[in-house]
Chain A
């Protein structure tokens, strides 16, 4: 079992306002190497769910097992390390660091994992996403499609067991949408990585065997 969520609750408290429940998930699972698409309305909590799974945002309560480790019980430093080592994250706006070249952006992700930067692996990943000729270019010199491909390579750099992708094709031109999606799916398949991909595009969702609507298993309105 790659990902297992039980009784997960997350709410926000506006200053001076009432508690606003965002997530209330009784049960959600993703199997080893399984590729799942998550769809839902804007503001429905999709990004919050990804952030909670990644350990970027702390949950209020519940259990969140990734490869048997309850992420919610880890201390913050341990959660940071777990995220660096086991979870890849592709953001909608890529979030590449402008001061670093394509290769350095991939190496940087490795540096924080505590396992050292594997330059050969980083080069292989960039070749795999078709950027062997753009290794030493900074993000500003890369096209949008190329930037997202660097982001995909970076997310896979630490050989994660789970890849989270938050609308990875939303800012990419149609020609590159298909390429980026294909890259993510093939890379996950080749490396036995489970994938949870958030999208608004039904065209993208239609390519996956398993499509989950967040509102089907998230009931924030019944949260106590």
Chain B
């Protein structure tokens, strides 16, 4: 049955209502101002992307939103839609729809969630789509299928895996430029290099604040809960280049500084400091609450919030963006990721690592054992691979997860004597 504009209006309203409820939900912590700004910015962007007059470009995680902002279009980080949908509890129906359509339950739930949402036609419609070759195989594939369904062009960015090859950066920069010009052509939005330089400056400013926040979070006891901090990644992937990101990252720093000055700790009497790798369950906060609030095992840092690149040169936007992309630890031989994890363990005085392994995420799960073994050669830090879904709550069992976390916490307790 074709969906009418009235249906879409209803969907929008429904979504909006759910989102507002979510923002007002009781929390186990009082959110930082930066976090509130972040949530509002994400919400605003989503609502704007529903407007018929908006130019919306669907992008996957690592497509630099800067090139989209430069065209005055909205970058819609489409996997994050699944996360938001999980948070407002409409994800199960999306996943059901994708499974009825024939998608395997063994594949990534983020992607399947979006597929389901598209089948139900509750997504803001794209004017163009851009995907990257990493992290994962499913991503460009479903983007291409979407492109056919929405009858819009799909551009795909090939990110070389061999980051140290001299040609990698240049070929990536060339592609970025080509895609930007193509996007300008198909959306009818003029491309202005000076505007892109301005946007690059915004990213530089925001990443300086985020780097500073990374420094501040080394503080023991931790000034911020991991449960709250991990939510920054959605905004980070989507809002690079925007003024909002500068604002929220500045606020984050100011508040962290203030908390440290005043001696405010996220968790009283911190028992353990954890490093959390991969994303989080979006359907509830139970796992984090249990660890951080009940067990006082604070998630001191999260791998997804790592800033690994240097300031960009606004005069060379495409080359700089290429370098930023290539600085991702998940690209290249696994030793690169191991190196970064080791560094985070040292920087954040980590007692144990939780490596979250959602069933369908091949890209991340494939690194778990390799990184674990690599680390063992360098340091003695307990490493726990936690099978847990990010957005699919259908098989989630609070008790089971707790039992497994308890076993890990016991190891940490024994180790610390």
A binds B: no
Q: Give me the interface of B with A, judged by CB distance under 8 Å.
A: none
